[in-house]
């Protein structure tokens, strides 16, 4: 089966003429910000950019795009980094940005729920929840840029998954515009609803391939009034993992973050332009940032001190004495992420393994990388509570672009097969997009592939939506690729 679509400026002009003015951007300069992702690594050139103002306007647009067989890609804050939200480079796709559908529709402090439009920036949604003395617990470095629709569509996790779960665990309902323009209204705030299939689950983590999310009903929690943050040094990753098991229990399950950073990652954080001192008086192979949070009168300081006193696994550590100090400790984590890109492109992964296998996986994977790319600097860190690791590789300075791509390939050849061996996943954060599609499809069993293709065909028979992401486009103009993306 092949499905050839007909992207053309004439089709856009016809659609534009039938709709309310101000929906489209078509000039190269005004479309430029919609053509590259957060890193600048993935570029695209949209045919046009549509910025709908309401669910009904988007539904009308999608019906017209289906009639015109115009390929569409939904876009949030462009922090997904797998080439999913940027258009193809050849002006074939209409980008639909949700940025003008950004309202917080409601917050209910008795239900502990909020209803937010897909274009709302995560940080804005979090602040709105905080203003109602509630917590929206999706928390990670890109929260000032990413949008709720993107979070839903990538099933975002972050620092607090350990305590509150990931986005999938927090979504109570969704409103979705289907590729043919029908609106699926599943925007309920019910905690428990066992009527038939739980259809919203189809759209969570679907990377915009099955429908365009326009609003989400999300679970909230009481806002923590007390926080304790500590940075701890360990002699080994197995010690970290044994301490993790101890700390969950010893902290009365009030742990809200447990972030692992191996020493090379901390050294990246310490690089100029940062002027941080080493956080502890000696250096250690592994560090952990832990956070405890409670909304009520719990003596968290006593809990964390007892937890540390009850274990001989921690070699050294510092507990933040104030909010300002807590923020400083978190800065090591943030600066490590920011500084990795200062020398140019680096190989990123967002993999996962079962939590109990993190230490063994890192041991084997780092040994493999040392052998395969001895000239590069591996940097490993992750959210221990969900087994989600970043095992990144920074190329040596001065390496030319072809050398960088070859190095990325060698690193990937070490890491991906190991994930099979450790029963892990090649994508625990950013999704599959175009970058990981070939690797994903190669590892997919026939029954899963058949079910996935069946869902796609049912909801998007013409494959106009996010084509070539996750599943093949079935378009002769987009042949299946030998091409590997990094
Ligand atoms: C610095 C940094 C730190 C991060 N840390 C974490 C982390 O700790 N844990 C984690 O899980 N992830 C993390 N991420 C990844 C994060 O989950 C995603 O970047 C984010 O959720 C995507 O949101 P976005 O609005 O930027 O979406 P985009 O990048 O714009 O889009 C992502 C995907 O969603 C689709 N999409 C966007 N909006 C919609 C919509 N309304 N309807 C349907 N499809 C849509 C796009 O087509 C694309 O496929 C991090 C990213 C960065 C850059």
Residues 110 and 207 grouped into a single domain = yes
The reply to whether the predicted model has a pTM over 0.85 is: yes
Residues 211 and 109 grouped into a single domain = yes
291 located within any domain: yes
> Which atom, in ligand 1's list, is nearest to the CA of 156?
11
Q: Where a domain ends, among 298, 323, 341? A: 341
The alpha carbon of 107 and the centre of ligand 1 are apart by a number of angstroms equal to 23
68 located within any domain: no
The alpha carbon of 106 and the centre of ligand 1 are apart by a number of angstroms equal to 23
Residues 266 and 337 grouped into a single domain = yes
If one counts the domains in the chain, the total is 3
Residues 115 and 207 grouped into a single domain = yes
Residues 168 and 243 grouped into a single domain = no
Q: Which residues of the chain have pLDDT under 70?
A: 1-4, 6, 476-486
152 located within any domain: yes
d(Cα 240, Cα 261) in Å, to the nearest integer?
10
359 located within any domain: yes
Q: What does the pLDDT read at residue 482?
A: 45
Q: Establish whether residue 153 lines the binding site of ligand 1, counting it when its CB lies within 6 angstroms of any ligand atom.
A: yes
Q: Where a domain ends, among 421, 455, 470? A: 421
Q: Where a domain ends, among 190, 222, 254? A: 222
In DSSP terms, 177 is beta-bridged to: 183, 212
d(Cα 421, Cα 445) in Å, to the nearest integer?
16
Residues 252 and 184 grouped into a single domain = no
- Give the range of the structural domain holding residue 360, as residue numbers without chain letter: 344-421
Q: What does the pLDDT read at residue 40?
A: 82
The alpha carbon of 417 and the centre of ligand 1 are apart by a number of angstroms equal to 25
Q: Establish whether residue 157 lines the binding site of ligand 1, counting it when its CB lies within 6 angstroms of any ligand atom.
A: yes
231 located within any domain: yes
Residues 214 and 235 grouped into a single domain = no
Residues 239 and 314 grouped into a single domain = yes
Q: What does the pLDDT read at residue 478?
A: 64
């Amino acid at each position: 089966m092949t499905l050839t679509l007909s992207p053309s400026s004439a089709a856009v002009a016809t659609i534009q003429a039938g709709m309310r003015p101000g929906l489209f951007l078509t000039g190269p300069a005004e479309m430029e910000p919609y053509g590259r992702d957060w890193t600048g690594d993935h570029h695209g050139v949209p045919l046009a950019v549509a910025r709908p103002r309401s669910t009904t306007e988007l539904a009308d647009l999608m019906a017209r795009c289906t009639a015109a067989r115009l390929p569409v890609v939904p876009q949030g804050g462009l922090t997904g980094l797998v080439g999913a939200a940027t258009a193809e480079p050849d002006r074939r796709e209409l980008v639909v940005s949700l940025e003008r559908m950004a309202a917080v529709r409601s917050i209910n402090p008795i239900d502990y729920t909020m209803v937010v439009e897909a274009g709302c920036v995560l940080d804005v949604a979090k602040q709105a929840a905080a203003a109602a003395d509630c917590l929206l617990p999706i928390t990670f470095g890109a929260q000032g840029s990413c949008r709720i629709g993107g979070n839903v569509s990538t099933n975002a996790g972050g620092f607090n998954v350990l305590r509150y779960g990931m986005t999938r665990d927090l979504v109570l309902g969704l409103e979705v515009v289907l590729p043919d323009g029908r609106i699926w209204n599943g925007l309920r705030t019910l905690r428990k609803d066992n009527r038939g299939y739980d259809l919203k689950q189809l759209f969570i983590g679907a990377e915009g391939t099955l429908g365009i999310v326009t609003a989400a009903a999300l679970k909230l929690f009481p806002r923590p009034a007390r926080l304790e943050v500590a940075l701890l040094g360990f002699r080994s990753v197995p010690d970290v993992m044994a301490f993790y098991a101890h700390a969950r229990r010893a902290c009365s399950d009030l742990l809200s973050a447990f972030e692992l950073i191996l020493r090379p990652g901390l050294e990246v954080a310490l690089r100029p332009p940062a002027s941080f001192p080493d956080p502890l008086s000696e250096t250690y192979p592994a560090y952990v940032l832990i956070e405890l949070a409670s909304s009520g009168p719990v003596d968290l300081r006593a809990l964390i001190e007892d937890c540390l006193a009850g274990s001989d696994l921690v070699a050294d550590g510092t507990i933040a004495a104030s909010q300002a100090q807590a923020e400083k400790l978190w800065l090591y984590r943030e600066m490590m992420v920011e500084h990795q890109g200062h020398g140019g492109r680096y190989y990123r992964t967002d993999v996962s393994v079962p939590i109990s296998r993190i230490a063994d996986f890192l041991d084997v994977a780092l040994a493999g990388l040392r052998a395969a790319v001895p000239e590069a600097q591996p940097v490993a860190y992750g959210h221990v509570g969900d087994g989600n690791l970043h095992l990144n590789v920074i190329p040596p300075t001065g390496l030319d672009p072809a050398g960088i791509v070859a190095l990325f390939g060698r690193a990937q050849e070490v890491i991906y097969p190991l994930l099979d061996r450790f029963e892990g996943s090649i994508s625990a954060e950013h999704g599959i997009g175009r970058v990981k599609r070939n690797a994903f499809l190669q590892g997919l069993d026939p029954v899963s592939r058949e079910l996935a293709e069946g869902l796609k065909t049912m909801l998007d028979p013409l494959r106009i939506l996010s084509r070539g992401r996750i599943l093949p486009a079935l378009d002769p103009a987009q042949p299946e690729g030998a091409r590997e993306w990094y």
